[in-house]
Amino acid sequence: MAPSGQRKPIPDEAPHILVVDDDRRLRDLLARFLGDHGYRVTTAANAAEADTRLGHLVFDAMVLDIMMPGENGFDFARRLRAGSEIPILMLTARTESGDRINGLEIGVDDYLAKPFEPRELILRLGNILKRTAQPEPPPAPPRPDYVRFGPFVFGLARGELRQGEESIRLTEREREILTVLAERAGEHVPREQLANQGSAANDRTIDVQINRLRRKIERDPADPLYLQTVRGVGYRLVIDRG
């Protein structure tokens, strides 16, 4: 536990908020208050400073004042929205509904009029982050120990291809290609993902390697049963199911 009066360290994975306001006192208060509630905070006094911060750091949301010298909050938000989806909570001393509508039309996520209760800021900011959070990707399916196709068995851990009791010799590249295809058995795998490097996909090196591999596993390499071409995409490995 942190000593009394000392803020607990904020973890690196905590949401990072950019506060943009020309009022230094308010910037400092917001930074302290947000920090006390577990946010990492960076501040900027105007749109130009905010541009610099955005060019070097990644933020989860922005608290943006409207009435700033130079480029105001509306114009800055409009420019940002041309190429950024960063969530924006706007602060303003204005209470006219037209200003609120203007901000929402630009693409601002929420709008809070000054003076405001700090607790309301925390609640609104939390709601914005919940709405805009990226969903967790589904867990990757477990990697199989081996796959079967026709008379062949390919063990992924050792990269070993067998036909009955016979071990089929593979080059290192053939082993790498077959491993990628086996991990995504039945799926269309782009040629670029099978290539050593980007240029390999362009000079058709991967096609040559696929043809060599087919000669080892296909009865008729010109009419493959297992290592099939997906026109315009790449290849797929057809395995036995069940």
Task: Count the neighbouring beta carbons within 10 Å of the beta carbon of residue 159.
Answer: 15
* The amino acid at 216: K
Give the pLDDT of residue 194: 87
Question: Per-residue pLDDT tens for 118-165?
Answer: 899 999 999 999 998 877 777 767 778 999 999 999 999 999 999 999
**DSSP-derived 3-state class of residue 189:** strand
Taking CA 175 as the corner, what is the angle to CA 151 and CA 155, rounded to the nearest 5 degrees?
Answer: 50
Dist. CA 181–CA 235, nearest whole Å: 8
CA nearest to 171, candidates 227, 213, 219: 213
Give the pLDDT of residue 199: 44
- Residue 52, exposed/middle/buried by CB under 10 A (0-12, 13-18, 19+)? exposed
Give the pLDDT of residue 2: 47
CA atoms within 13 A of residue 195's CA, in its CB half-sphere: 17
List average pLDDT for each run of 10 residues in the chain, which is 242 residues long.
59 92 94 94 97 95 94 94 93 71 84 89 94 77 87 94 94 93 91 67 75 95 94 91 70
Q: Are the beta carbons of 199 and 206 closer than 8 angstroms?
A: no
Q: Is the pTM of this model over 0.75?
A: no
Q: Are the beta carbons of 8 and 32 closer than 8 angstroms?
A: no
What are the extents of the domains in the chain?
A: 16-132, 146-237
Q: What is the CATH number of domain 146-237?
A: 1.10.10.10
Q: Are the beta carbons of 88 and 101 closer than 8 angstroms?
A: no
**DSSP-derived 3-state class of residue 192:** helix
Q: Are the beta carbons of 192 and 233 closer than 8 angstroms?
A: no
137: which 2 tokens?
């990707």
Dist. CA 242–CA 237, nearest whole Å: 16
Give the pLDDT of residue 1: 40
Dist. CA 173–CA 140, nearest whole Å: 24
Give the pLDDT of residue 95: 62
**DSSP-derived 3-state class of residue 166:** strand
Give the pLDDT of residue 164: 92
Give φ, ψ of 77 to 5 degrees: -65, -40
Give the pLDDT of residue 200: 45
**CATH class for the region spanning 16-132:** alpha beta
Give the pLDDT of residue 242: 60
Q: Are the beta carbons of 56 and 84 closer than 8 angstroms?
A: no
Taking CA 176 as the corner, what is the angle to CA 172 and CA 182, rounded to the nearest 5 degrees?
Answer: 140
Placement of tokens 């036909």 in the chain: 163
* The amino acid at 90: M
Give the pLDDT of residue 94: 64
